[in-house]
Structure 1
Amino acid sequence: MPRPTTPVTGLRHQLAELRGPDRPPRPLDARALAALAANPGCNRRALLDGAGVDKARLADALGAPSAFGQSQFALARGNVFEARVKADGGAQLLRLVHERVGPAGAPEPVAELVSAPDLSAAGPQGRTARTALALREAAQSPGTWTFLDHPMLALDVAGSPAFLEPDAVVVHPDGSWTVVEIKSFPMIDGAADAAKVGAAARQAAVYVLALEQVAQRLTGLDAEVRVRDRIVLVCPKDFSNLPAASAVDVRKQLAVTRRQLARLTRIEDIAAALPPGTAFDPELPAAELAAAVEAVPATYAPECLAACELAFHCRERSRAAGAVTVLGRPLRAELGGLTTVDAVLAAAHGEGGDPADPTVAALRRAAALRAEALSGKERQR
């Protein structure tokens, strides 16, 4: 008699069929999870990431290759800057953390009070276990600082572990934990580009969630374990290679990421709406693959170009459909139920839309003012 299929096992089998035969799942990382949080309404990305589909290969097969990712120059520059920040056992980094989020009266991170355990181990599971052990030992050593360089954390995503590697985690003398993100974009006059800071905050929020899962497993210790919801962002100061740091509140990003991860556990609902036999195997004929992708609703926005491998494909389809989302989320929100450019123009010219709708009324008023201004210019000529 066959064993009954549990919901998790059934979901994994279903997602494996979507990937295609013998296609291993592409593991989720912090950048992918942060991008999900940046566009929570996109069913297409939620399903493809939840199923572990290689979106870069999928984009190539669709004829819209992705330019997503950092250049080798940017990666090399970032690695050099990170090594400089973490030199001398993280002494400078710990001072920056102490200055930005250290509680009043906390002991300074002098060498005698700093521990930097070795986190090397075999495989991601081994590194995750070694990180958890180091965090346990740090929680049982109040009054000292612990610097964890590239720890490995596991976050449960739709029943499977996603292995994540933050730049650093600092354990304070009071037992609390702080995530540190090191980026190569500059911090000019104490402020960095808001869009880049937002992306870093979303990525750091994923690490905070993973640390919270570790902290839950350490309950019962004498020392209090608390994961701070303010992370420390370290960037080059002005146009130099010297580090500058700021504390970033990630509570909003945490809330969004929690909701999106909870939504991933219900991706079977999205998959259930697909036509039978739908698959996203890049080896399929292009027409069949395009039909499979179009069967999953997408929510394209210009921000996707910096976060998703399928952005060019989705942008092309959105433009062909005349969707107002190609003009940006703020404008899309202002237009309410008018979702296409043709519908907006028709409403503005009095050829469509409900006159009682405030959005339609505003468009018609704007069109009338424009026509009046243009007629005035004609008269002046």
Structure 2
Amino acid sequence: MSSYPTGGPPQRTPQTTTLRQRLADLRGPAVPPRPLDARALAALAANPGCGRRALLDGAGVDKTALAQALGSPAPFGQSQFAIVRGNSFEAKVKGDGGAELLRLVHERLGAGGEPPGPATPVPDLTAAGPEGRAARTALALREATAAGTWTLLDHPMLALEVAGTPAYLEPDAVVVHPDGQWTVVEIKSFPMIDGGADAAKVGAAARQAAVYVLALEKTAEKLPGSTVGHRVVLVCPKDFSNLPTAALVDVRRERAVTRRQLERLTRVEELAAALPEGTCFDPARPAEELTEAVSAVTAAYAPECLAACELAFHCRERARDSDEVTALGRSLRGELGGLTTVEAALAAASGAGRAEDPIAAALHQAARLRAEVLALVPARTSPEATACPC
């Protein structure tokens, strides 16, 4: 059996070799590429318009080291307490051969079929290196599908080709159903209170799970009779306890966005070709040179980047220096249309904008109404405003 679960290593053409050399030059000749993981790919889907992130991730640049070299380090990563709590909860969910986890999956997706047995064996997925683990996972998926039994794969290794190179991804779990369906399981330590959880955290989990679904679909293409569910099972602590509960999350939209963004990564060659000759993102280079190199790639900063990108603080500083409206949020940027700077928006609000521009007219009207309302409110320093209501 090939050590590559998708049938063989990516075919190298002269064009691919030239692109890899170009990306290696951007990264630094002596700097090894940083492999993409599911979190990085999910962040790409969260901000598909950012050419800077697409190029740096496609080239395998270590953005954490780059941000430090630029003088704008990002305090990324979970606290040690959160990591320990998450590991403890995951171990509890997968205890006893994953019996509780399989029960939750059957409860949400079993559709009245035969429930999992009390002692379903968990396949051993250990192997040498990520390629070996991915091949072992593909074999275990094939065997479980052929057996037609509920099977839990604990931390399987999946392969997904990104910009011509394989990225190895490790979901929390994959469950094989008796009918040949495969379901991705995400285990998170944030609580699910009264059947609902924090929308932002669920959205981040959905984007990450969508990456796993895409990778699992690539493996399923090689195994007839298997299908990948578009709904993933999100397992979280119930209310304020440590008891697990589960909910279904439909990731079709996130999967489509992620697929489009991964296809756009083939444009990395175009982004790289547009850079000045000699551009390099090696963190060992002087900060002034790195700042110039990073500025040569267009970015699409938004406040949401602070939770997903290591370069967010650097990009925020540059967006503020340029007076960009995007520094205030994507929704506001969309509403302001052609007004791309804060100065232009304030000018329109004061009446200095173009009268024929409906957005400028609406801003001016809003500013006028606000001024009228404030004129009706007593000044906070007045005796009437500060007097005791009793």
Q: Same fold (TM over 0.5)?
A: yes
Q: CA deviation at 1:109?
A: 0.6
Q: Secondary structure at the match of 1:161?
A: strand
Gaps of 5+ in 2: 1-11, 383-390
Q: Secondary structure at the match of 2:221?
A: helix
Q: CA deviation at 1:378?
A: 7.3
Q: Output the CA distance in 2 between the equivalents of 1:277 and 1:80.
A: 48
Q: Secondary structure at the match of 2:185?
A: strand
Whichever residue aligns with residue 24 of structure 1, its letter is P
Whichever residue aligns with residue 352 of structure 2, its letter is E
**2:140 corresponds to which residue?**
134
**1:350 corresponds to which residue?**
351
Q: Output the CA distance in 2 between the equivalents of 1:360 and 1:302.
A: 24
1:184 aligns with 2:189: yes
Whichever residue aligns with residue 110 of structure 1, its letter is G
Q: CA deviation at 1:5?
A: 6.2
Q: CA deviation at 1:99?
A: 0.8
1:174 aligns with 2:175: no
Residues 91-142 of structure 1: CA deviation (Å, up to 9, x unaligned): 0000000111222x31001225x33111111111110000000001112112
Q: Secondary structure at the match of 1:140?
A: helix
Q: Output the CA distance in 2 between the equivalents of 1:133 and 1:198.
A: 31
Q: CA deviation at 1:321?
A: 1.2
1:25 aligns with 2:26: no
Q: CA deviation at 1:332?
A: 1.2
Q: Output the CA distance in 2 between the equivalents of 1:63 and 1:302.
A: 19
**2:365 corresponds to which residue?**
365
Q: CA deviation at 1:379?
A: 10
Q: How does 1:255-274 map to 2 (within 5 A)?
A: 255-274=256-275
The count of residues paired between Structure 1 and Structure 2 equals 370
Q: Output the CA distance in 2 between the equivalents of 1:217 and 1:355.
A: 61
Over 3 Å counting, the alpha-carbon distance change for 1:278 and 1:379 in structure 2 is closer
Q: TM-score, normalised by structure 1?
A: 0.94
Q: Output the CA distance in 2 between the equivalents of 1:91 and 1:47.
A: 43
Q: Secondary structure at the match of 2:97?
A: helix
**1:199 corresponds to which residue?**
204
**2:250 corresponds to which residue?**
249
Q: Output the CA distance in 2 between the equivalents of 1:379 and 1:20.
A: 60
**1:109 corresponds to which residue?**
116
Q: Output the CA distance in 2 between the equivalents of 1:295 and 1:91.
A: 53
Q: CA deviation at 1:372?
A: 2.2
* Equivalent residue for 2:43, pick from 35, 38, 42: 35
Q: Secondary structure at the match of 1:244?
A: strand
1:313 aligns with 2:314: yes
Q: Output the CA distance in 2 between the equivalents of 1:20 and 1:227.
A: 39
Q: Output the CA distance in 1 between the equivalents of 2:348 and 2:281.
A: 38
Q: Output the CA distance in 2 between the equivalents of 1:5 and 1:124.
A: 24
**2:9 corresponds to which residue?**
none
Q: TM-score, normalised by structure 2?
A: 0.92
Whichever residue aligns with residue 349 of structure 1, its letter is S
Whichever residue aligns with residue 108 of structure 1, its letter is P
Q: Output the CA distance in 2 between the equivalents of 1:27 and 1:378.
A: 60
1:48 aligns with 2:48: no
1:65 aligns with 2:47: no
Over 3 Å counting, the alpha-carbon distance change for 1:379 and 1:199 in structure 2 is closer
Q: CA deviation at 1:210?
A: 0.3
Q: Secondary structure at the match of 2:264?
A: helix
Could you tell me whether the CA contact under 8 Å between 1:68 and 1:305 is conserved in 2? no
Q: Output the CA distance in 2 between the equivalents of 1:335 and 1:346.
A: 12
Q: Secondary structure at the match of 1:266?
A: helix
Whichever residue aligns with residue 277 of structure 1, its letter is G
Gaps of 5+ in 1: none
Q: CA deviation at 1:355?
A: 2.2
Q: How does 1:268-283 map to 2 (within 5 A)?
A: 268-283=269-284
Q: Output the CA distance in 1 between the equivalents of 2:378 and 2:108.
A: 60
Residues 256-311 of structure 1: CA deviation (Å, up to 9, x unaligned): 00000000111111111111111101111110100000111111111111111001
